[in-house]
Amino acid sequence: MKETLRHYVKRVMRQKGLSLSDIERSSNKQITASYIGRILKGTVTNLTIEKIVALAQGLEVDPYEIFAASYGKPPANSNHPDSLVLVDVMQKLVMNPDVLEVLQQWLRLSPKERAVLLQSLKLIQ
């Protein structure tokens, strides 16, 4: 469950309530709102060290988090989901009544019924 750079930036912006101009301002204009917009669209993926540092400053996060999202691969010793991604999924779950109802119904199923339903869902993808 590794985030791409664009998804990482979107999530942090949403969680912190930041706009493009907020990030530009916090970075002392070392990164522009239009450049950040291109990151969000996925057209910019290969950031320079300077842009990583500027974006981190604008988002008020550790530059290593930006690098990790840019790199796109989890650390070799990591076999568990990023806790912040998990929190983001949980927030989306709570905010969507339909998904919450599906989860409640899922929890009422027996393990055998869950396995059958999960196999059916995988075929739909």
Same domain, 67 and 23: yes
Q: Is residue 45 part of a domain?
A: yes
Q: Is residue 78 part of a domain?
A: no
Query: pTM above 0.75?
Result: no
Same domain, 89 and 62: no
How many whole angstroms separate alpha carbon 74 and alpha carbon 81?
A: 9
Say which CATH number the domain at 47 has: 1.10.260.40
Q: Give the DSSP H or E segment for 75.
A: none
Residue-wise pLDDT tens digits, 36-85:
999 999 999 889 999 999 999 999 999 998 998 888 765 555 555 566 67
Split at pLDDT 50, 70, 90, the class of 23 is: very high
Cβ-proximal residues to 98 (8 Å cutoff; 6+ apart), any chain: none
Of 22-31, 50-59, 103-112, the least confident? 103-112
Q: Is residue 66 part of a domain?
A: yes
- Which of 30, 51, 71 is the C-terminal boundary of a domain? 71
Among the listed residues 51, 42, 47, 48, the one whose alpha carbon sits nearest the alpha carbon of residue 7: 42
Among the listed residues 14, 12, 18, 19, the one whose alpha carbon sits nearest the alpha carbon of residue 63: 12
Q: Is residue 22 part of a domain?
A: yes
**Cβ–Cβ under 8 Å, residues 113 and 31:** no
